[in-house]
Amino acid sequence: MFELKKEILATHEALLTVTIKPEAEREAYQQALRKIGRRVNIPGFRKGRAPRGIVERKFGKEVILQEAAEELLEKISEDVFEQAAIQPYRPGELEDINVSPITFVLRVPLVPEVALGDYQNLRQAPEPVEVTAEELTEALERIREENVLLEPVARPAQLEDELKLVALYGGAAEDIFIDDADFSLRLSEADSEIAPGFGAALVGIAAGEERAFTLTMPEDFEDEEWQNREVAFEVTVAEVYERTLPELDDALASTVGNFETLAELQEQLQAKILEHKEHEAKRTYTDKLIDALVAGAEIHYPPVMVEEELDEAMERLKESLGDMEIDWEQILEAAGGLRESMRPEIETRIQHGLALSEFAQVTAIKVSDEEVHTEFQTVLAAKGIDDPQLLSGFNLDSELGDNIRNSLLEGKILEQLRLLAQGLLDLEAETAEESEAVAAPEAVAPEAE
pLDDT digits (tens, 9 = 90+) for 332-386: 665 557 888 899 999 999 999 999 999 999 999 999 999 999 999 999 999 999 8
Looking at residue 56, its pLDDT comes to 78
> Shortest CA distance to 355 belongs to which of 417, 282, 432?
417
Lowest-confidence region among 247-251, 258-262, 325-329, 412-416: 325-329
Q: What is the CATH number of the domain that holds 45?
A: 3.30.70.1050
Statement to judge: residues 105 and 153 lie in one domain: no
Residues 166, 181 contacting (CB under 8 angstroms): yes
Looking at residue 327, its pLDDT comes to 66
First to last CA, the chain: 40
Residues 79, 66 contacting (CB under 8 angstroms): no
In the predicted model, what is the mean pLDDT of residues 28-33?
A: 80
Domain boundary among 244, 266, 284: 244
By CB atoms closer than 10 A (0-12, 13-18, 19+), residue 185 is: buried
Q: How many domains does the chain have?
A: 2
- d(C-alpha 59, C-alpha 313), whole Å: 46
Q: Who wins on pLDDT, 425 or 231?
A: 231
Domain boundary among 244, 264, 299: 244
Whether 198 maps to a domain, the answer reads yes
In the predicted model, what is the mean pLDDT of residues 226-247?
A: 96
Domain encompassing residue 24: 2-111
Q: What is the CATH number of the domain that holds 219?
A: 3.10.50.40
Domain boundary among 215, 244, 273: 244
Please state whether 117 falls in left (phi above 0), alpha (psi between -120 and 50) or beta.
left
Looking at residue 326, its pLDDT comes to 63
Statement to judge: residues 98 and 182 lie in one domain: no
Q: Who wins on pLDDT, 71 or 348?
A: 348
Taking 80 as the threshold, does the pLDDT of residue 277 lie above it? yes
pLDDT tier for residue 447 given thresholds of 50, 70 and 90: very low
Lowest-confidence region among 192-196, 383-387, 414-418: 192-196
In the predicted model, what is the mean pLDDT of residues 188-211?
A: 89
Statement to judge: residues 9 and 107 lie in one domain: yes
Taking 50 as the threshold, does the pLDDT of residue 440 lie above it? no
- d(C-alpha 346, C-alpha 317), whole Å: 14
Residue 32: CA count within 13 A, CB half-sphere: 24
Whether 295 maps to a domain, the answer reads no
Q: Can you give the three-state secondary structure of the chain, one letter per residue?
A: CEEEEEEECCCCEEEEEEEECHHHHHHHHHHHHHHHHHHCCCCCCCCCCCCHHHHHHHHHHHHHHHHHHHHHHHHHHHHHHHHHCCCECCCCEEEEEEECCEEEEEEEEECCEEECCCHHHCCCCCCCCCCCHHHHHHHHHHHHHHCCEEEECCCCCCCCCEEEEEEEEEEECCEEEEEECCEEEECCCCCCCCCCCCCHHHCCCCCCCEEEEEEECCCCCCCHHHCCCEEEEEEEEEEEEEEECCCCCHHHHHHHCCCCCHHHHHHHHHHHHHHHHHHHHHHHHHHHHHHHHHHCCEEECCHHHHHHHHHHHHHHHHHHCCCCCCCHHHHHHHHCCHHHHHHHHHHHHHHHHHHHHHHHHHCCCCCCHHHHHHHHHHHHHHCCCCCHHHHHCCCCCCHHHHHHHHHHHHHHHHHHHHHHHCCCCCHHHHHHHHHHHHHCHHHCCCCCC
Q: Who wins on pLDDT, 193 or 311?
A: 311
Whether 181 maps to a domain, the answer reads yes
Statement to judge: residues 103 and 156 lie in one domain: no
pLDDT tier for residue 448 given thresholds of 50, 70 and 90: very low
Looking at residue 444, its pLDDT comes to 30
pLDDT tier for residue 85 given thresholds of 50, 70 and 90: very high
In the predicted model, what is the mean pLDDT of residues 61-81?
A: 81
> Shortest CA distance to 4 belongs to which of 106, 92, 109, 111?
106
Which residues does 37 contact at the CB level (< 8 Å), separation at least 6?
48, 50, 52, 55
Statement to judge: residues 100 and 155 lie in one domain: no
- d(C-alpha 58, C-alpha 65), whole Å: 14
- d(C-alpha 446, C-alpha 370), whole Å: 8
Looking at residue 388, its pLDDT comes to 87
In the predicted model, what is the mean pLDDT of residues 228-242?
A: 96
Whether 51 maps to a domain, the answer reads yes
pLDDT in tens, 289-306: 999 999 999 999 999 999
Whether residue 101 has a cis bond before it, omega within 30° of 0: yes
Taking 90 as the threshold, does the pLDDT of residue 73 lie above it? no
Lowest-confidence region among 102-111, 135-144, 163-172, 243-252: 102-111
> Shortest CA distance to 201 belongs to which of 226, 229, 227, 168?
168
Taking 80 as the threshold, does the pLDDT of residue 232 lie above it? yes
| Dihedral sign, Cα of residue 167, residue 168, residue 171, residue 177 | negative
Looking at residue 431, its pLDDT comes to 56
Taking 70 as the threshold, does the pLDDT of residue 325 lie above it? no
Statement to judge: residues 93 and 160 lie in one domain: no
Whether 397 maps to a domain, the answer reads no
CA–CA–CA angle 38, 66, 68 (5° rounding): 55
- d(C-alpha 86, C-alpha 175), whole Å: 60
Statement to judge: residues 188 and 98 lie in one domain: no
Whether 6 maps to a domain, the answer reads yes
In the predicted model, what is the mean pLDDT of residues 320-341?
A: 69
Looking at residue 299, its pLDDT comes to 97
Taking 60 as the threshold, does the pLDDT of residue 437 lie above it? no
Whether 272 maps to a domain, the answer reads no
Whether 337 maps to a domain, the answer reads no
pLDDT in tens, 112-130: 999 999 999 999 999 999 9
Average pLDDT value over all residues in the chain: 88
- d(C-alpha 201, C-alpha 137), whole Å: 30
